[in-house]
Amino acid sequence: MYGVNKVTIVAFAMMLCIFLQTNISKADTFLAGDANGWGFQLNGWPNGKTFKTGDVIEFKYPAGAHNVVKVDQAGFNSCNGAGGQVFSSGDDKITLTKGTSYFICTIGQHCANGVKAAVTAN
Ligand SMILES: [Cu+2]
């Protein structure tokens, strides 16, 4: 009896490991703006698409031409990057947390001209 329980526990632990590993590997990377990258050609990307918590959004743009600032909803609506988290490498990979993340470019009037994206992760 004791032996059977031990086998059951080991089997369960192995299944748990496989399950966790599968979940981790399910995270995907998406290019902000798809092939156009992060800039004036977003055309409304991501157009209401939803992503998974843990997915990565990669923001590609010529360094210095744009930036990526993670802001709250108010900052997103008003294109105000104050207090936001700034990324400026030209190839910024940002992991999504659950809920909606708001990203804007704070250079010039870029945000007002559409360089902004609200990304929702389930
Ligand atoms: Cu910009």
The structural domains of the chain, ordered by start, are 28-121 (2.60.40.420)
pLDDT at 9: 53
Q: Which residue has the higher pLDDT, 22 or 120?
A: 120
pLDDT at 22: 58
Q: Are 75 and 84 in contact (CB under 8 A)?
A: yes
Indicate if the pLDDT at residue 113 is higher than 90.
yes
DSSP string, 88-108: -SSEEEEEPPSEEEEEE--ST
The amino acid at residue 95 is T
Tokens of 1: 């009896």
Q: Which residue has the higher pLDDT, 86 or 19?
A: 86
Ligand 1: centre distance to CA 59 (Å): 11
Ligand 1: centre distance to CA 49 (Å): 22
Tokens of 52: 């998974």
pLDDT at 24: 57
Q: Are 79 and 67 in contact (CB under 8 A)?
A: no
- pLDDT tens column, 63-76: 999 999 999 999 99
Q: Can you say how many angstroms the Cα of residue 38 is from the centroid of all Cα atoms in its chain?
A: 13
Task: Name 95's bridge partners.
Answer: 56
pLDDT at 1: 52
Ligand 1: centre distance to CA 39 (Å): 6
> Cα(51)–Cα(97) distance, rounded to whole angstroms?
10
> Cα(93)–Cα(113) distance, rounded to whole angstroms?
23
Ligand 1: centre distance to CA 57 (Å): 17
pLDDT band, residue 79 (cuts 50/70/90): very high
By C-alpha distance, which of 20, 82, 32, 24 is closest to 59? Answer: 32
